Amino acid sequence: MTIVDHEGRIVLVNRQTKLISGFAHEELLGRPVSRLMPERVRREQSERYSQYFTDPAFRQATPGLESLRRRKDGGEYPVEVSRSPIQTARGVLVCSAARDITQRKRAEMALQHSEASYRSLTQGATCGIFRCRVDGKFLTVNPALVAMLGYGSASDG
């Protein structure tokens, strides 16, 4: 969690942000929130913060809409961010909750790799391979099984 003022400066930061980013409390307070962003995305993400102040309303993190954050050592990690306005005596502040989605991204990549390996194995096999439901309806068949059964293509029924 970070709380940012209308100038894009960090007003408050929670312990988890400090632990993940590697920055000390004093290295973040009063500094631009862009400090937590990789150089190549700073402009775009800083503009999002600026635009947010023109229409400050709760914005939930949208699955699949990702952002990047930067660690003190220069490493990067993907996040999903939700933002909420906070009305204070010093004006509107923005509270941002950035959730590190590194593990989920790794799991997605592993699944994609596994699916690609399975597809490659089954499509290139010379023996017939199929998957079916409990009631016997085919879900998938490979080209070798299609040829063995005498159909012209996998879409022939």
Question: Cα-flanking dihedrals φ and ψ of residue 80, to 5°?
Answer: -110, 135
Task: State the chain's mean pLDDT as an integer.
Answer: 86
What does the pLDDT look like over 79-90, one tens digit per residue? 988 888 888 998
The span from the CA of 148 to the CA of 145, in Å, is 5
Percent of the chain at pLDDT above 90?
A: 46
The span from the CA of 54 to the CA of 9, in Å, is 16
Indicate whether this model's pTM tops 0.75: no
What does the pLDDT look like over 9-37, one tens digit per residue? 999 999 999 999 999 999 999 999 989 99
2-100 is classed in which CATH architecture?
Answer: 2-Layer Sandwich (3.30)
Query: pLDDT at residue 57 above 80?
Result: no
Query: pLDDT at residue 156 above 50?
Result: no
Contact in structure between 8 and 46 (CB atoms under 8 Å): yes
User: Concatenated DSSP letters for 81-110?
Assistant: EEEEEEEETTEEEEEEEEEE-HHHHHHHHH
Domain ranges for the chain: 2-100, 104-149
Among 32-36, 60-64, 101-105, 137-141, the range scoring the smallest mean pLDDT is: 60-64
- Listed in sequence order, the DSSP H helices in 32-142 are 42-54, 102-124
pLDDT at 96: 86
What does the pLDDT look like over 98-113, one tens digit per residue? 889 999 999 999 999 9
Q: Which pLDDT band, with edges at 50, 70 and 90, does 59 fall under?
A: low
As a residue count, the chain comes to 157
User: What number is the average pLDDT over the span 115-141?
Assistant: 90
